[in-house]
Chains A and B, each alone.
Chain A
Amino acid sequence: MIKGKFIDNLPKVYGIYTGGFLVFIILMAIAESMGMSKEAIGVFFVAFTVFIYALIGYLSRTLQLDAYYVAGRQVPTVFNGMATAADWMSGASFVAMAGGIYFKGYGYMALLVGWTGGYVLVASLLAPYLRKFGCYTVPDFIGTRYGGNVARVCAVVVLTVASFTYVTAQINATGTIASVALDIDFKYAVYIGLAGILICSMLGGMRAVTWTQVAQYIVLIIAYLLPVFWIGSKIGGNWFPHLMLADEVARISELEAQFGIIKNSPENMAMLKEATKVEPGEAKWVLSGITKAHSEVNTTPWKFISLAICMMAGTASLPHVMMRYFTTPSVKTARRSVGWSLFFIFLLYSSAPMLATLSKLSLMDPTLTTGIIGKSIAEVEALEWYKNWNQAKLMLVQDFNSNGTLELNEFFMGGKAVVLATPEIAGLPYVISGLVAAGGMAAAMSTADGLVLAIANALSHDLYYKIIDPKAETAKRLIVARALLVVIGFAAATIAAMGIKQILGSVIWAFDFAMSGLFFPLVLGVWWKRANAQGAIAGMVLGLLSGTAYLIWVMTCAEGAKCGFWDITNLTFGIVGATVSLIAMVVVSLMTKAPDAATQRMVDEVRIPSGRTILGKQH
């Protein structure tokens, strides 16, 4: 690929790509109408898109350091925005978010506010300044700003803890989707997902990841929006659901009052447990029932706000997001690029509640043909889509009161089914379900790419090159970087294959870890000249330790015992970590010597956009 030419032709290249993808969808739809099987459509969608990403990854291979680490710093604003959006929106955002809103309503939507509000902090506090710095990685900034290898190593440790928690969840998600779409065992599907991720990132580093992420964004946003708009117009002609669903939201409240939202009794839950028992080694059922009203304020202000705060500060400290802004041509474009990132994220996040609304209404409203609540159990059990998703262990009906009619509290569904099954429930052709699978795969792969690269780059650049072997030549550095990428990928896939955690639990932890250790050392590095190495080290170490200690405390809490304080849960332990980190950093900085004149000058330089970057183009 000719470099300069490729950058100039980006809109054309991706325009053709988008057109090609739409043609592919239409061809699949035609194939379906001619009798192609569901399984084959699923395989085609996932295999075709992953092949394209791998091809882009291969074409973007490079032997240059700045291309490998920061994509040659020439990614235009809007395209970097798309790449960041794909980098950001994980398998969890794509597959699990609408389900979370469906079951938990208002309380869950704190995540939406947190995961978007964080970008205001990125744009105003950090991204433009770190871009001016010219670093390759986040620990590169910490190491140079504060000086000394100890600070650098601490940053690498925090980064690795936070990102590794996150990446196992992503590889788990690629494995889940690959195993469903390609119909193979999860244990092997995880490694197929990993192979895709590594091909996209290994040969070209950041450059390859950038151009595949743009491609993945296009697939995932089409896959998310198309069903939402389609289902919306199918239900009562809401051709623009975001602006037109107020009546549907009100109608759900009405139906909730009519059917009654009942929390199941312990006896009922015991019956459910009995019905979902599995042999050891078999896949588990993933089910929830509706226990919260759809649009009511159902949580205390502090619970909502504390979760939002953690997600916002976590967003601003997660390295795989920050490093995307190292790839823009200038400080100005880095700043604007954050705006574009959030715009592209907004497109999906504002659609998730709409999908949850449409999905819930299709199932609940007895006047719609798709409504099942109030119908006879036998009738529901005979439905084709119910049988499919029941087999996938994502849907179950239970006749608790043995009246033969399905009540609201007798229907159980996995959160993932809201995104994965709604097209089928609403009677859309199967081609849409195949498209959604490809979208989920794109979302999980793109985030995994960014995370694996963030960890491997920090280890290869900050640990290996800056500390262990500063004389290493370019070729050797790139070999080490790639070897680490493979090792980390395999480690994450191995843990994912064991299938320990649910997708979202550990994703939220990653934000809390990142916030505990990195938020204040990063922010104060730019905004407080007096901050010094000792302070930053204390902030990172004590922040991470106290956050982790609090997490262990609340997680290992004996039943009945009182653990934790201020209503801070295992999802918001970052508040404890970050508070300790801030106090430790300020106190220790003030107790020790102020940074030397050279460091102070460096901070002054960082604060103005013009002039040369602090670190050279190749370093």
Chain B
Amino acid sequence: MSKQAKHWEKTRNLLWITLAIWFVFSIGIFFFGAQMEASSFRPLGYPLSYYMTCQGSLGIFVILIFWFASRQEKIDEEFGYSEKEDD
């Protein structure tokens, strides 16, 4: 496999992981709204369903993007595809 194909394979794998996490917190958990509401796990005292919609999922997305960006930068570096500083 060529260098570029390997790079793309790693990039694609990272995409799938990122999208899987994204799916769980943007769509997956909201299939269980009623169960989350009844849950005894209450972050900061809020009902779980309420918490996820007003802070939880939102905050996870912020962290997810920064995590994704740094992982992708590592992949690019590994294959020598990073941009030069003065690019």
Q: Which residues on A are within 8 Å of B, measured CB to CB?
A: 106, 109-110, 112-114, 116-117, 119-121, 123-125, 128, 242-247, 249-250, 295-297, 299, 301, 304-305, 308-309, 312, 329-332, 335-336, 338-339, 342-343, 346, 349-350, 352-354, 604, 607-610
Interface centre among A245, A332, A352, A608 (most CB of B within 10 A): A608
Cα(A369)–Cα(B46), bound, Å: 25
Q: B3: shortest Cβ distance to chain A, in Å?
A: 10
A608/B76 in contact, CB under 8 A: yes
B61/A117 in contact, CB under 8 A: yes
Nearest A residue to B5 by beta-carbon distance? A604
A117/B22 in contact, CB under 8 A: yes
Cα(A346)–Cα(B60), bound, Å: 10
Q: Which residues on B are within 8 Å of A, measured CB to CB?
A: 4, 7-8, 11, 15, 18-19, 22, 25-27, 30-34, 36-37, 42, 44-47, 49-50, 53-55, 57-59, 61-62, 64-66, 68-69, 72-73, 76, 79-84, 87
Closest 3 pairs between A and B when the two form their complex, measured CB to CB: A246-B45, A117-B26, A353-B54
What are 24 contact pairs spanning A and B, CB under 8 A?
Answer: A109-B53, A113-B57, A117-B22, A117-B25, A117-B61, A120-B22, A120-B61, A120-B65, A121-B22, A123-B65, A245-B46, A246-B42, A249-B46, A295-B49, A296-B37, A301-B33, A305-B31, A329-B87, A331-B83, A338-B65, A352-B54, A608-B76, A610-B76, A610-B83
Q: Is the interface of A mostly helix, strand, loop or mixed?
A: helix
Cα(A312)–Cα(B65), bound, Å: 14
Cα(A94)–Cα(B31), bound, Å: 28
Query: Which of B22, B25, B42, B69 is within 8 Å of A336, CB to CB?
Result: B69
The residues of A that contact B66 with a CB separation of less than 8 Å are: 336, 339
The residues of A that contact B84 with a CB separation of less than 8 Å are: 610
Q: A224: shortest Cβ distance to chain B, in Å?
A: 15
The residues of B that contact A607 with a CB separation of less than 8 Å are: 4, 7-8, 11
Report if A610-B64 is in contact (Cβ < 8 Å); known contacts: A297-B37, A336-B69, A346-B59: no
Q: A248: shortest Cβ distance to chain B, in Å?
A: 10
A249/B57 in contact, CB under 8 A: no
Q: A555: shortest Cβ distance to chain B, in Å?
A: 26
Cα(A309)–Cα(B31), bound, Å: 13
Query: Which of A242, A297, A329, A608 is within 8 Å of B4, CB to CB?
Result: A608
Cα(A305)–Cα(B23), bound, Å: 11
Q: A181: shortest Cβ distance to chain B, in Å?
A: 29
Cα(A305)–Cα(B32), bound, Å: 11
A124/B30 in contact, CB under 8 A: no
Report if A339-B62 is in contact (Cβ < 8 Å); known contacts: A117-B26, A246-B42, A246-B44: yes
Cα(A342)–Cα(B66), bound, Å: 10
Query: Which of B32, B59, B73 is within 8 Å of A301, CB to CB?
Result: B32
Cα(A120)–Cα(B44), bound, Å: 26
A332/B82 in contact, CB under 8 A: yes
Known: A106-B50, A339-B65. 11 other contacts (CB 8 A): A112-B53, A249-B47, A295-B47, A305-B27, A308-B30, A330-B87, A335-B72, A343-B62, A346-B62, A352-B54, A607-B8
Cα(A269)–Cα(B69), bound, Å: 53
Cα(A119)–Cα(B57), bound, Å: 12
The residues of B that contact A610 with a CB separation of less than 8 Å are: 76, 80-84, 87
Interface centre among B11, B33, B57, B59 (most CB of A within 10 A): B33
